[in-house]
Amino acid sequence: MNDRITMPAATAPSRAFPLLRARRSTKRLQPDPIDVADASEALWAAAGATGNGHRTSPSAHAIHPVSVTLIAGAVTGLPAGAYGYESADHAVALRMSGDHRERVATLTLDADWLAVCPALLVLSADLSAARRRFAHQSMEHGERFVWIEAGHVAQNVYLWAADRGLGTCLVAGLDDDLAQRTGSDLLPAEHALLGILPLGLVTSP
């Protein structure tokens, strides 16, 4: 018996398909500045509020434990600094001034190239709080939900970047110990680093 079925194409292809097809992980972006409007859109794509407590990404129980920090290095219209994204107001709050790209790049296993990308979106969460929140389920659920949510946030940024013709790449190969020891001041209190999404122009081949 042949139980293999070729799936039929829809009569009209989904409008999402061109973006899904164009999505790519782009490494070694150009150091040229991006505009603050691009950083603003990338933040909204990552974690923008869409009404009634929802955001652009799904979240278990709509709690949204994943936070986004913008590390601005070369963003026209925004001084260099680490900024916390406040979804409800679509605003950023300065957490620490100065250029922190190189320091963030050292928290990865091998992505030194992040140091010259104009901006980085840093995903983080309080994993202990997430575990406690879902303690009535299996112990790991709360933390697992955080990682799954971070993946959705990353994919949103990928699809936005594909639409804008900019590059990004989820960098999740991290030096967890170093990040905990030396990176925590860039993040909200008690947060662990989950991943980094650089933003910038794609280097032509």
H or E stretch including 21? helix 17-22
Nearby residues of 66 by Cβ (< 8 Å), 6 or more positions away: 47, 57, 59, 123, 124, 125, 146, 149, 150, 153, 194
Distance of CA 19 to the CA centre of its chain: 17
The residue among 82 and 159 lying less far from ligand FMN, judged by its C-beta, is 159
Q: In Å, how far are 28, 33, 70, 130 from 149, measured between CA atoms?
A: 26, 29, 18, 12
Size of the site for ligand FMN (CB under 6 A): 9
CB of 110 to ligand FMN, least distance (A): 7
Q: Is 24 in the site for ligand FMN (CB under 6 A)?
A: yes
CB of 154 to ligand FMN, least distance (A): 7
Q: Is 171 in the site for ligand FMN (CB under 6 A)?
A: yes
The residue among 89 and 110 lying less far from ligand FMN, judged by its C-beta, is 110
The residue among 27 and 141 lying less far from ligand FMN, judged by its C-beta, is 27
Q: Site residues (CB under 6 A) for ligand FMN?
A: 24-25, 27, 111, 169-173
